[in-house]
Each structure stands twice: as structure tokens, then as C-alpha cells.
Chains A and B, each alone.
Chain A
């Protein structure tokens, strides 16, 4: 029983049993095949057991916030693509929402539908790629990722047709989207959505009950719910531990209230739950996509009075958040009434989900660290910004 959820397990658990000079110090990263980019962990091992783990950040600190404070609001939109570069369109949405909240801009219904469709397609990309990457971390390097990227390419083709770019979409605008859907685009999405279910069946067949996967992930890296909430963990990581907290439900934005979907929950929050919860979320995303495509209304894709040039939000501040594929993605903006944001702050889910990584890894083997890191699902563009 934890009396205070903020109490660090670090100090309480596992004071090293041997002298410090008997311990092995390993610097994992920033160049390491399993650290998902340029993340670094300083790990101290007693034999094979982790007794200390300190993450080191900043190897991809690209000063996005500083650059954004020196430029206009709209000029930051392409930079948000490069935050979590697996899912640019979710980042677009989070930023557009924050500015819309800051300036009180309405979004037409059709634009909300387009946004939901794009955000859920992005969730599919993220979770599929996640499955490929974490299996690579467990030793199945290449084959699982090959399947994941096969499906990703199909979605990227749709994005390219719509936005002109495979990855860096720069698509959302304050008050809507940049352009309307091309002819026949939604029919292509419907086809993809229909074919995605069988792909997930196929992928799950490989994973569920796979002996290696089970032995690598079961009971690895779970923490009590209260500790996770207190540590700021959000997204699939939190729901895998059984906390029903999905911003699409608890603080609905856009038009999510109109759709019928469920929030899958895990039981223990170990790495197995974290993998499986993402598969279940993809099923729910498909449900949302089906409904959104069926109900897609006609109308304007951007608010007719949306201002592009010389856009000046009124004085004030706003914090807006969405349920990104990795967790709560928030933007905190302060406007001093000029064309440039006075303060532009990103609340990055990948970064804050790493808060408890040491607590998750203590007492486990070094090989488990790699799986736990993979299950957190970080993207360094967002961790370091």
C-alpha cells in the first residue's frame, strides 16, 4: 500500500547490496538501436539487475518553443508536424485547437469530421508502427516492422493525396483545414478501413499467445494506478493499468461525443497489456472511422471568416489538449495581442510518460529496460522538442 503516490520508489526499493565499485555503469544511447532515436539512459547494474536508471534528454532539442515565439501563429503549424513525426496530423489538431480556444474561433462541422478521420488514421499509423518497433526491440527485428510499414504506406498514400506530403502534412488551419477532400478520397479511406480489420487479425494472431512475447512482457514494468496518475502518465500507458481516462470521453473535444466507441482498459499495466491495449484501440478507431465516413456532411472545410494573414488573437492564455496516440498532447499559449505568441509551450506526452521509467525498471534485468522503453512509445522529436 502506498501512503503517498508521489513518493519515489527509487529511494525505497533496492539500495545496492554491493559496493559501488562492484556495480556496472552502462550508458545506453544516444546511439543505440533500441532507444528509438537519440535517447540515452545511464543504467547502473548489479550483475544483470538494474539498480539505478537515469534518463538523459536533449540530444534532439531543436528549440521549437523558442522558434515559435519569434514567428507568427500559423508559421508554427509546420513545426508541429515535426514534434511527434510519426503522427503529424494529431499534433496539427492539438495546436489548431489551442489557437482556436485562445482566439475563440468556431470550426465548421465538415472540418471537424475531416479532423476526426485524420486523427484516427494517424492513431492507426502510430499504433501499428508501435507494434513493429516493440517487436523489433524484443528481437523480431525487421519482419514485424515490415508488416507495419506495409500498412503505414497505404495510409501515407491517402495523406499524400490529401495534403501533398507523406509525413509533414501541415494541414490544419485555425478554424478548419487547408483544403477539402479530393474526389473519391473518402471511398478510398472506407476501403482501407474495411481491409484494416483483417490485417489486425493477422497481426494479433502472430502476437497473442506467442511464447516469446509472453515471457518478455508479462508482469514487466507495471506500477500502481495512483503512482501512474501522480506521475503524469497518460494515454494507452495509463489505460493499460485500468484507469478509464481518455480525453475523447472525459473532456470531449471536436465531435467525439457523437460517436459510439469504447475505451479499452487493461488489468495490470504490464508491457503485455500496453501492447494489447493498442490493438484494441485500433479496433475502436476503425469503429469511429466507419461512423465518421458514413456521417460526413457537406459544407465548408474552413470557417469563412478564418483569418490567415495578420492573425492576432486577443490578450489572454489558453491550455488545450487532445488525446494523441501517445497520450495527452497539450498546448499552452499566451497571447499578448500581437501576431506572435508570447509563450508557446507544448505538453509532450512522450516526455512526461518517461517520468516513471526508473521506477518501472528497478529490480528487473537490462533486457527488460528495452521492452519497457519500447512499451512507453516515445518519439524523440516530442521528448526533446
Chain B
């Protein structure tokens, strides 16, 4: 690149800044934009053809956002992600967000992401951890495609394959989920705690985490602070 690039002179000739194939702003909006509620179903049909034996099922979102999701079995996650990324007419090339969720009560998880049909896999009885991926396509300008993956339980069966080999953007987000929720991402290149210190042993974002009692004197405790105060101080 030369020093002349992007100077104020360029600004006077606006078109020189945009590559010729997409200079008009209107062309940024894709004509084949799909509504989010049909997106998951359409992708599911493609996945069923490509991976007949893969454990993928549709989960409907009861809320007004209608962002339906696909429940993927951990074993198929990397293949599904690679397929979604590399198939030209899908082109989900951008993994935006990775969220961890703790579900000690599995019935709640099925209420938020309801099985689309009666054959939907019922949730495990003992509670589990869930990782939710939000995928977008920068080329086709569609999304979000929501994938969800569940661990076997919350104690020892907390392994989920890492998608860092497919989407680099998951690298730090998976480390964060490992740190705060305790999901072990197998195949992650550098799985260490990221926000808390290395010696820390708990997973503080889990619902049953109890923070250390470091309550301090407060003259007029109220609401949540009052509860803390009552726990902290010995009753007379």
C-alpha cells in the first residue's frame, strides 16, 4: 500500500474507496435475505442430506425473537461447522458469539429451546452445561444460525469438541466458558483459565456457585445486601 491511500483527497472522490464490485451501499443488503425462523429449518434440511446419521435436531424458540436453533450432538459438531463454513451456498464464515449456559434443571432448557417434534431428544435427567454458537454469513449477509451443544452432565462428562480449528474466533470465548462454566473443550490449542487466575478452582458462572463471604459493614443494608448481611453476621 502506498501512503497516498485513504487520504482526504480520496474522500472527495468517494467511489475510489470501495472496490468496484460493491460500491453502491444498497448492494450490501442481500436480496436473498431469509427470515430467521426459516433459516434453521432450511439449514437442517441441508444437514440431513449431507450427514444422514448426524445427531441434529430442530429446537424452536417460543419467544418473539423466533431465533430457532439446531441441537447438534457433540461428536458431529466440528463436521457440521466445517460443512456450514465451506459449502458455498451456505457460507457461514463468521462465528460471532459463543455462550455458555448452565442448566441444573434440564426441563428449563427444554422450555427455552423446545423440541420441534415428539421425537425430539429429551434432555438428560441430571442437568447439563450447554454451549450456544451464533453463526453469520458475511457473504450472504444472513444469520444468526444458532447451534447448541450439550454436555452429558455437569460433573465429569463436560467434554465438548473445540471448534477453534474451524473458527478462530472461538479461541478466547471457549477459554472463557472453560473458566467460568467448566466445559472442557477437547482439541483446544491452549485451554487455560482466561479471566480468573490459574490457581482458582471454582466455576463462578454456574448457578450453584457460592461466592466467598467477604461482606463488609454497610450502614443501611437492604434487599440482596440485607440477605448477605444476615448470612454474614451471627444472629444474637
Q: How far is the CA of A283 from the CA of B6 in the complex (A)?
A: 13
Task: Kindly list chain B residues whose C-beta atoms are within 8 Å of the C-beta of A143.
Answer: none
Q: How far is the CA of A347 from the CA of B172 in the complex (A)?
A: 12
State how many angstroms separate the Cβ of A293 from the closest Cβ of chain B. 21
Q: Is A154 an interface residue (CB 8 A)?
A: no
Across the interface, do B5 and A230 meet the contact criterion of CB distance under 8 Å? no
Looking at the complex, which one of A61, A245, A280 makes contact with B17 (CB distance below 8 Å)? A280
Q: How far is the CA of A143 from the CA of B112 in the complex (A)?
A: 53
Chain B contact patch, size range: 35 or more
Residue from the set B169, B170, B194 with the largest chain A CB neighbour count within 10 Å:
B169
Across the interface, do A103 and B7 meet the contact criterion of CB distance under 8 Å? no
Task: Kindly list chain B residues whose C-beta atoms are within 8 Å of the C-beta of A57.
Answer: 172, 194-195
Across the interface, do B138 and A347 meet the contact criterion of CB distance under 8 Å? no
Task: Kindly list chain B residues whose C-beta atoms are within 8 Å of the C-beta of A315.
Answer: 62-63, 111-112
Task: Kindly list chain A residues whose C-beta atoms are within 8 Å of the C-beta of B155.
Answer: none
Q: Is B73 an interface residue (CB 8 A)?
A: no
Looking at the complex, which one of A65, A319, A355 makes contact with B67 (CB distance below 8 Å)? A319
Task: Kindly list chain A residues whose C-beta atoms are within 8 Å of the C-beta of B93.
Answer: 5, 226, 229-230
Residue from the set A66, A276, A317, A335 with the largest chain B CB neighbour count within 10 Å:
A317
Given contacts A6-B167, A352-B169, A355-B171, contact A332 B97 (CB under 8 A): yes
Q: Is B83 an interface residue (CB 8 A)?
A: no
Q: Is B22 an interface residue (CB 8 A)?
A: yes
Q: How far is the CA of A316 from the CA of B66 in the complex (A)?
A: 8
Task: Kindly list chain B residues whose C-beta atoms are within 8 Å of the C-beta of A214.
Answer: 3
Q: Is A330 an interface residue (CB 8 A)?
A: yes
Q: Is B212 an interface residue (CB 8 A)?
A: no
Interface string of A372-385 (1 = CB under 8 A from B): 00000000000010
Looking at the complex, which one of A8, A204, A272, A316 makes contact with B1 (CB distance below 8 Å)? A272
Across the interface, do B62 and A244 meet the contact criterion of CB distance under 8 Å? no
Q: Is A336 an interface residue (CB 8 A)?
A: yes
State how many angstroms separate the Cβ of A117 from the closest Cβ of chain B. 20
Looking at the complex, which one of B19, B63, B65, B95 makes contact with A232 (CB distance below 8 Å)? B95
Task: Kindly list chain A residues whose C-beta atoms are within 8 Å of the C-beta of B1.
Answer: 218-219, 267-268, 270, 272-273
Across the interface, do A334 and B101 meet the contact criterion of CB distance under 8 Å? yes
Across the interface, do B144 and A314 meet the contact criterion of CB distance under 8 Å? no
Q: How far is the CA of A268 from the CA of B171 in the complex (A)?
A: 24
Given contacts A272-B1, A277-B6, A345-B97, contact A317 B169 (CB under 8 A): no
Q: How far is the CA of A348 from the CA of B204 in the complex (A)?
A: 19
Q: Is A78 an interface residue (CB 8 A)?
A: no
Q: Is A261 an interface residue (CB 8 A)?
A: yes
Across the interface, do A316 and B167 meet the contact criterion of CB distance under 8 Å? no
Q: How far is the CA of A321 from the CA of B18 in the complex (A)?
A: 25
Task: Kindly list chain A residues whose C-beta atoms are within 8 Å of the C-beta of B195.
Answer: 57-58, 61, 384
Across the interface, do B97 and A334 meet the contact criterion of CB distance under 8 Å? no
Q: Is A194 an interface residue (CB 8 A)?
A: no
Q: Is A303 an interface residue (CB 8 A)?
A: no
Q: How far is the CA of A283 from the CA of B12 in the complex (A)?
A: 12
Q: Is A262 an interface residue (CB 8 A)?
A: yes
Task: Kindly list chain A residues whose C-beta atoms are within 8 Å of the C-beta of B19.
Answer: 242, 244, 265
Across the interface, do B141 and A251 meet the contact criterion of CB distance under 8 Å? yes
17 A-B residue pairings within 8 Å (CB atoms): A6-B164, A6-B168, A218-B3, A229-B93, A232-B169, A245-B138, A249-B29, A266-B5, A273-B1, A280-B11, A316-B62, A317-B65, A318-B63, A319-B144, A332-B99, A336-B108, A345-B99
17 more A-B residue pairs beyond the given contacts A283-B11, A319-B144, with a C-beta to C-beta distance below 8 A = A6-B168, A58-B197, A209-B3, A232-B94, A243-B138, A244-B28, A262-B14, A263-B25, A272-B5, A280-B6, A313-B63, A316-B61, A316-B63, A317-B63, A319-B146, A332-B134, A355-B169
- Measured CB to CB, the residues of A under 8 A from B are 5-6, 8, 57-58, 61, 63, 65-66, 70-71, 101-104, 201, 204, 208-209, 214, 218-219, 226-227, 229-234, 242-246, 249-252, 261-268, 270, 272-273, 276-277, 280, 283, 313-321, 328, 330, 332, 334-336, 342-343, 345, 347, 351-352, 354-356, 384
